[in-house]
Amino acid sequence: MGQTEASKTPGLRAAIYCRVSTGDQSCERQQRDLRAFAERGNYEVVAVFQETASGSRDNRSARRKVVALARDRQIDAVLVTELTRWGRSTTDLLSSLQELEACGVSVIAQTGLQFDLRSPQGKLFASLMAALAEFERDLLRERVRSGIAAARARGVTFGRQQGQRVKADRYQARVLQLRAEGRSYRDIARELKLSKNTVMSIVQRGAG
């Protein structure tokens, strides 16, 4: 005999997170599929978040709200259609999974894969991701070093120069050095008291 709705064992509390990259796309299909997935898995959906943001952007307010629920111990899992909807990069994904792990929260993809870093599968996944993240950082360092060399070849002088007034020029060498060390745009901006857009502009110009 099947269980009635009232006799079902309460499932894990979950937040649904949907993301699309551009304004002409819709989160409707993701939300519909994830609600059906939650129903099949007996997850108790306590919140649904959706936003429009490219995978490279750091200002994802809806994702921050999901993390806030995790910190407040209001959810046990985050449901996504696929990991690319949640993480911006390998490094970002690993960092966010570790943050959620500290709150006892897993990220569960619609495929049924559960990324709980406390499990053997999760630990193996984390190790593989850490190796990929280091590879990404090595590639970034190589690109930044090439950018510095190219800038020097164009006559750019690194370090603060007498009479300079443009903030980007004053901080260029330090920004590129921190970026080569694998620091995020946000961390660099916070340390140097610059806007994140200024930091990104410096790095892009240095790598040109």
Catalytic residues: 21
Using DSSP, state whether 170 is helix, strand or coil.
helix
Spatial neighbors of 190 by CB under 8 A, at least 6 apart, are: none
Q: Which helix (H) or strand (E) holds 14?
A: strand 13-20
DSSP 23-70: TTS-SHHHHHHHHHHHHHTT-EEEEEEEEE--TT-S--HHHHHHHHHH
Task: Determine phi and psi for 20, rounding to 5 degrees.
Answer: -125, 160
Closest among 40, 29, 107, 34 to 67, alpha carbons compared:
107
The CA-based angle 135-94-51, given to 5 degrees, is: 115
- The span from the CA of 90 to the CA of 56, in Å, is 11
Rounded Cα distance, 63 and 55, in Å? 12
